[in-house]
Structure 1
Amino acid sequence: MKNSKSKIKGRGAQKNIHNRFFEYSHEIRKDFLEFCNKEGELADKNRTQYLSVFPKTIVNKVTSPDVGMAYSMNMYQGCEHGCIYCYARNTHEFWGYSPGLDFERKILVKKEAPKLLETFLKKKSWKAQTIVMSGNTDCYQPAEKKFQITKKCLEVFLKYKHPVGIITKNALILRDLDILKALAKDNLVAVNISITSLSEDTRRILEPRTTTIERRLHAVKVLSDVGIPVNVMLAPIIPSINSHEILPVAKAVSDAGGLALSHTIVRLNGAIGEIFTDWIQKTMPDSANKVLSQIENCHGGTLNESRFGKRMHGEGQIAKQINDLVKLAKRKYFKDKTMPVLNTGLHQAYKTGQLKLF
């Protein structure tokens, strides 16, 4: 894979694109870049900023019928992992930022999330259902090392004996192994770890600030060995980038103790189409047109796909080949494995934070 010398190091997106909600746009002019070069200054310092925000609620009801969760919560908005394909990029526009570089460099931090979660779980009207961290951005992204909001939220789930799902691609999850083991004793936790490739070269360009594949597989094994159920998400599968790795990834996951494999086919909705196209032309110029064409083939001739029932797994010959290969991988490596249904029966007795005696 040929990398452009102009590629911004350590980032997925290679530019900020216009926020569709704004009348005015911001651009870096060539004469400004030339001035910075002559003065020996950096036009862009490429630094990550952490910005505190104060939402009134933290748990979101998920109305989409094909995402596999009913409720989600996100401790952070934006994600420093910088995955170029991330569907969550579009949501950064709602906060007044670009879905491009801003998504990776302006991380919004919800420090009050544990208190908001506790208030929600204590509602008399709430009947326990699995709440997933995170449905949007990774709850174990680099910001978690500093703020530890995810850890504090897990402690709340444990206190109230409430089921929780976790989606991440970061081995930082092992930091909280003791809390996860305590939840697992009552069947209150399931983990979903994203592994899109076994190639470090591919990982570095697709997901520049994520944990290595070796460490992710190690996390699958450690979690599985202590009885914490793990599903691995091969998501997204991108034709001609990682589509040839379905069977090897499935085998590696199964060997590590994973109980299930799920997948999606890449879709580039909203601003992501422009961001991804710019990225692949700079990062993989020789194969850019081929990859973009094959993505379009999976979605009726467009990069954008929003139809429920079609958007996750696509349609057409290329999509069929991918989906059939995933089915084969599941039969071959996960035939006698299954993820458990989490326990929703304990929470009601712990609404006050302690078990009722009468």
Structure 2
Amino acid sequence: MSELHDLRRGEARGRGAVSNAVSRFEPYARVAVDDGWEAPVEGMLRTEVAVEAPRKVISRNTSPDVPFDRSVNPYRGCEHGCVYCFARPGHAWLGLSPGQDFESRLVARPTAPQVLAEELRKRHYRPATLAIGTYTDPYQPIEKEHEIMRRLLGVLQDFRHPVSIVTKGTLIERDIDILAAMAKDNLATVGISVTTLDPKVSRLMEPRVPSPARRLQVIERLAAAGVPVRIMASPLVPALTDHELEGILQAGRDAGARAATSLMLRLPAEVAPLFQEWLHVHFPDRAERVLNRVRELHGGKLYEADFGTRMTGQGVWAQQMQARLRIARKRLGLADRLPPLRCDLFRPPPRVGDQLSLF
């Protein structure tokens, strides 16, 4: 893609972000200028995929806000294009824009399954639930071609290692055979994110994500196969989708979900200006109302990264939302979390040439 195309593409059909501003690490800003030599490029923005060969794939964290300490990311960037995605700032580390680059210039890690297997074989490794999909979606459209996620699941199944997956993608249905077999031994759970039941809002906010109704169908099919599923009403956008909380949980329960969670909108780093821009383009009548409520949740700022409140917000309105969540879960018979997965079954499979035990 030429730099001129990059500068002039502006709002593109089928993409979440409406611009492609440079990241916070770039020393210079790029400004589109029409010099009369080339007409502005409009319309579709094609997806480009680069390949990365990682030396390790298990990422560790010590955050008290999340229930896992390790995760794996098959891809960098996400074609789903959710405008609110908190992973967007990560593209800045690649020298790319957290805007349209994040959803169109992707990085695949095809050797991730082999690297994961080597990490799991290390003598000091101790198993705990591995989270996948907590950063970018492992079942975004390019997974159909690359099949990295399916091969990762194959490794985890061979090692009898517990895994928890979060996705909005229907491609997870392809892997129900592996997930059902692992779930039988309490080694797999899935979280399906449904941000709104309104297909029009969904199409604007997360343009390449399957429709809400289709995601509910995924819950049905996973549940029917015996895979424990939680419905995730996340993120809730104040004054835009927050009124749907109870409806989303009801729909998830009816589809077969056993547990329910919900998180408030987060706007770290470059996500804040991107989301503001998107709001003023698509919902100008309520943009300031949404932003004011977000500020109310974060002490007058669009984002506050304090542990304990960054996921839920603070103040009276945040407390009301948490109360609504608790009441809805109780009424619907939904748990606040799925049962813990087993770690005692973990066994590295023998390799060709390994000395096998006689007993």
Name the TM tier (shorter chain). over 0.9
* Deviations 1:28-68, CA, capped at 9 Å, x for gaps: 22x25x6544xxx6267511100111221101112211022
Give the drift of 1:101: 0.6
* Deviations 1:194-244, CA, capped at 9 Å, x for gaps: 111111011101110001111111111111112100011111111111100
Give the drift of 1:91: 0.6
* Deviations 1:161-189, CA, capped at 9 Å, x for gaps: 11111110011100111111111121110
CA–CA distance in structure 2, aligned partners of residues 335 and 17 of structure 1: 42
1:67 aligns with 2:63: no
The answer (yes or no) to whether the contact 2:17–2:100 under 8 Å persists in 1 is yes
CA–CA distance in structure 2, aligned partners of residues 302 and 188 of structure 1: 40
Tell me what 1:3 maps to.
none
Tell me what 1:253 maps to.
252
CA–CA distance in structure 2, aligned partners of residues 145 and 119 of structure 1: 25
1:87 is paired with a residue whose SS is coil
Tell me what 2:153 maps to.
154
Tell me what 2:121 maps to.
122
CA–CA distance in structure 2, aligned partners of residues 36 and 201 of structure 1: 34
1:20 aligns with 2:24: yes
CA–CA distance in structure 1, aligned partners of residues 358 and 318 of structure 2: 55
CA–CA distance in structure 2, aligned partners of residues 18 and 177 of structure 1: 40
Flag the 1:304–1:337 CA change in 2: closer, same or farther, 3 A. Answer: closer
RMSD: 1.8
Give the drift of 1:319: 1.6
Give the drift of 1:324: 1.5
Q: What letter matches 1:260 in structure 2?
A: A
Flag the 1:28–1:346 CA change in 2: closer, same or farther, 3 A. Answer: same
Tell me what 2:51 maps to.
52
Tell me what 2:77 maps to.
78
Tell me what 1:295 maps to.
294
Q: What letter matches 1:120 in structure 2?
A: E
* Deviations 1:127-185, CA, capped at 9 Å, x for gaps: 11111112210000011011000000000011111111111001110011111111112
CA–CA distance in structure 2, aligned partners of residues 267 and 184 of structure 1: 31
Structure 2: gaps spanning 5 or more residues = 1-9
Matches within 5 A, 1:335-354: 335=334, 339-347=338-346, 349-352=347-350
CA–CA distance in structure 2, aligned partners of residues 323 and 298 of structure 1: 12
Flag the 1:225–1:356 CA change in 2: closer, same or farther, 3 A. Answer: farther
The answer (yes or no) to whether the contact 2:59–2:72 under 8 Å persists in 1 is yes
Q: What letter matches 2:195 in structure 1?
A: T
Flag the 1:250–1:274 CA change in 2: closer, same or farther, 3 A. Answer: same
CA–CA distance in structure 2, aligned partners of residues 83 and 106 of structure 1: 15
Flag the 1:336–1:158 CA change in 2: closer, same or farther, 3 A. Answer: closer
Flag the 1:55–1:251 CA change in 2: closer, same or farther, 3 A. Answer: same
Q: How many residues align?
A: 347
1:281 is paired with a residue whose SS is helix
Give the drift of 1:356: 5.8
Q: What letter matches 1:241 in structure 2?
A: L
CA–CA distance in structure 1, aligned partners of residues 336 and 131 of structure 2: 22
Flag the 1:300–1:338 CA change in 2: closer, same or farther, 3 A. Answer: closer
Structure 1: gaps spanning 5 or more residues = 1-5
Tell me what 1:202 maps to.
201
CA–CA distance in structure 2, aligned partners of residues 356 and 226 of structure 1: 35
The answer (yes or no) to whether the contact 2:168–2:210 under 8 Å persists in 1 is yes
Using structure 2 for the length normalisation, give the TM-score.
Answer: 0.92
Tell me what 1:140 maps to.
139
The answer (yes or no) to whether the contact 1:79–1:104 under 8 Å persists in 2 is yes
Tell me what 2:7 maps to.
none
CA–CA distance in structure 1, aligned partners of residues 56 and 320 of structure 2: 42
1:278 aligns with 2:277: yes
